[in-house]
Amino acid sequence: PPPSPSLPPRHRQEQPGLMMASTTTCTRFTDEYQLFEELGKGAFSVVRRCVKIPTGQEYASKIINTKKLSARDHQKLEREARICRLLKHPNIVRLHDSISEEGFHYLVFDLVTGGELFEDIVAREYYSEADASHCIQQILESVNHCHLNGIVHRDLKPENLLLASKSKGAAVKLADFGLAIEVQGEQQAWFGFAGTPGYLSPEVLRKDPYGKPVDMWACGVILYILLVGYPPFWDEDQHRLYQQIKAGAYDFPSPEWDTVTPEAKDLINKMLTINPAKRITASEALKHPWICQRSTVASMMHRQETVDCLKKFNARRKLKGAILTTMLATRNFSAAKSLLKKPDGVKKRKSSSSVQMMINNKTNVVTSPKENIPTPALEPQTTVIHNPDGNKESTESSNTTIEDEDVKARKQEIIKVTEQLIEAINNGDFEAYTKICDPGLTSFEPEALGNLVEGMDFHRFYFENALSKGNKPIHTIILNPHVHLVGDDAACIAYIRLTQYMDGSGMPKTMQSEETRVWHRRDGKWQNVHFHRSGSPTVPIN
């Protein structure tokens, strides 16, 4: 990922040249706020404590380096700010200010100092079912406020549940609206594949239209964890995890669930209902006896085993987050896979029968959540953005979300322009070829005998001779294309190219090569700036 942004100077007036160059530049943040220590960072942003100078009030400022944002990222930033401005509730981290300055955008939020809710729970000497009820009630209050205002969070998970302060009884605060969307009433639509694997709803995994109920499914997963310290769905393989979720295959195993009240299990069942139309809503859940009659319904028994399991669960989440951070920094994915393998000697238990039917017959066991807290494929800290059924995980931080359908469309665009380029080659149409290629095109190809070719002259020779119109028809097939998007205006495609043609004696011939092409978009048009071809030469010479 790109490096963390360099921060703007404390006072712009110390740079007279900058002020002279842009006398209309807004400096309201630098004039009104003073920045202090760093609280966290992402690819394009950093969070720092700040103080509003006139009042002395402390806040957390999310500082986004807008110079590094694409047009799409700018739209997401505007959406996040718009949503956060709308939401004003004691259980939601509040946005107090949104300021654009040259090169940077500042989002000024509540300064929440209590850390994660799940980390606080494991530090408590006493934790009961009634405490879990109070926690989920506050989460439901925040979700209900979102839904009443036409907002779906889409990424409810422990990392986004914070405490206002370290004081006993501090309010739970819902944070991070980077994935949140705006909906009209009870609108159901396909808004893209986004969320975190263990908390995704069946309708998202099925790619069905969805809406507010996805948040209630995630609340059900969170409540389950709050009661026993491990999640309802788990598997080392992400594809099988998704099968479990789509089947609604969870249970309440002994002995830990024997001490949980039937009312608590009833609320979980109502939240983890596969059919979103029948799933309980936030307002309905707040009226459930286990929530609104807590003192008489919820058990007061201390749940030490839950605390112990939750400690392991938290440790696994943090380890996963640290490894993913290293992976993203170094792109060393293979090393990370070996780090995250299931340890030897892990105890296993049989999965529920409904899961066994969904999974390969030879796989009758899944890792016990109590003995081996879920692997990263099961409980990732980061947010999955596409590829719901692939075994190759594709994850991004919640700050850099990409919508699934948009990604597919952009990849298809790269495949199509590659096909157009190859068609120009097959037709011997040098004019069409030059329109698709950058004038400074560089290449490695067998015909150049290992030399790096730059420019169009080398290729012109083959168009004017070997690819002349007198040649027999040529047909090319692209096999197994893989597209990597690099921001909004660059992409790389790798594929196998089969070229079919008739030789001079009328015999059919086929040649194969492996190609990689780098594309760059200039003025709205894709141009090939580099390609690398191995295998046999692809120019059929009679």
Catalytic residues: 155
- Residue 518 corresponds to which tokens in the numbers above? 């780098």
By the 8 A CB rule, do 289 and 129 touch?
A: no
Rounded Cα distance, 325 and 329, in Å: 6
- Residue 25 corresponds to which tokens in the numbers above? 């530049």
CA distances from 119 to 124, 141, 158, 421 (A): 9, 21, 9, 55
By the 8 A CB rule, do 179 and 189 touch?
A: no
Rounded Cα distance, 130 and 295, in Å: 7
Secondary structure (3-state) at 100: strand
- Residue 319 corresponds to which tokens in the numbers above? 């380890």
- Residue 282 corresponds to which tokens in the numbers above? 């936030």
Buried b (16+ CB within 10 A) or exposed e, 241-256: bbbbbbbbbbebeeeb
- Which alpha helices (DSSP H) does 229-303 contain, by range? 238-247, 262-271, 282-286, 289-292, 294-297
Rounded Cα distance, 80 and 64, in Å: 12
Q: Which of 13, 11, 18, 3 is nearest to 35 (CA)?
A: 11
The enclosing H or E element of 462 equals helix 457-464
By the 8 A CB rule, do 411 and 492 touch?
A: no
Q: Which of 368, 403, 374 is nearest to 387 (CA)?
A: 403
| Neighbouring-strand partners of residue 46 | 41, 63
